[in-house]
Amino acid sequence: MELRTRDRVISLDHPIVMGVLNVTPDSFSDGGLWLDPEAAVAHGREMAHDGAAIIDVGGESTRPDAEPVDEDEEIRRVIPVIEALADDPALSISIDTRKAVVARRAVEAGACIINDTSGEAADGSMTPVVAETGAGVVLMHSRGTPATMRSMTEYSDVVADVARFLASWAVGLEAAGVLQDSIVLDPGFGFAKTVEQNLVLLERLDEVLGLGYPVLVGTSRKSFIGAVLDLPEDQRLEGTAATVAWAVSEGAHIMRVHDVKEMSRVVQMADAIASAKWGKG
């Protein structure tokens, strides 16, 4: 399987790691750490050295109750970082945003993937940005806004409902001219889902994979891991590793993580086992 992103093709024959780079003051796990552009760029390069194939740059927190950021401020935060990291032709950059204007500017600055975290509140003008730029796109399921998502967890069947929504979104993009192999699906772990619903989504991840698109899993340090283990954000490494290993064993393609060095090793080991199981080694 391949992911086509503008002028490059990313192989997904084996799972890859996407490193989280939040240039925000208020992200749930690393807010404020990389707000300085020079520190952010250095961290992005460090993650690439540690095994990240994609660096996901975000300028607006989507944690529960996060304050919204206007377009100009989000652009001010992300563009210098993307421009600096895009100087490395071996590194693929994605922009984590809900706004079409930010996405377009980021692609112009060198990003090749748009990680659209808007979910059911999608910006209608994002589709032509994806189609016109030829960027790869990650479609993440969510509901509402950071202020309302925790109250929007009613589903008839969380896996079936999420899969149905993502499939419909992907088909709409294809109808607008986006290539099927430029689309990635993300079930949206931690977004408008209870602890139990997140666990069910992981256990039944094969149903999302069955839609035929690459699947991204973003469980890193999430609150459902903290709830299961009764641990704060800075002590969820092992819990994250368990979810990453499970996702790889199920066939997921991209792991979005904060702890790149450690999770790259988990991915490599879990993939070796899964490849042996299916005779891919």
Active site residues: 222, 256
Question: 58 in helix, strand or coil?
Answer: strand
With residues binned 3-state (H G I as helix, E B as strand, rest as coil), the percentages for the chain, rounded to 5, are 45, 15, 35
Distances (CA, A) of 169 to 100, 138, 180, 188, 241: 16, 11, 12, 14, 30
Q: What is d(CA 197, CA 205) in angstroms, rounded to the nearest whole number?
A: 12
Residue with tokens 């750490």: 33
Distances (CA, A) of 93 to 55, 142, 197, 225: 5, 22, 30, 27
Q: What is d(CA 72, CA 62) in angstroms, rounded to the nearest whole number?
A: 17
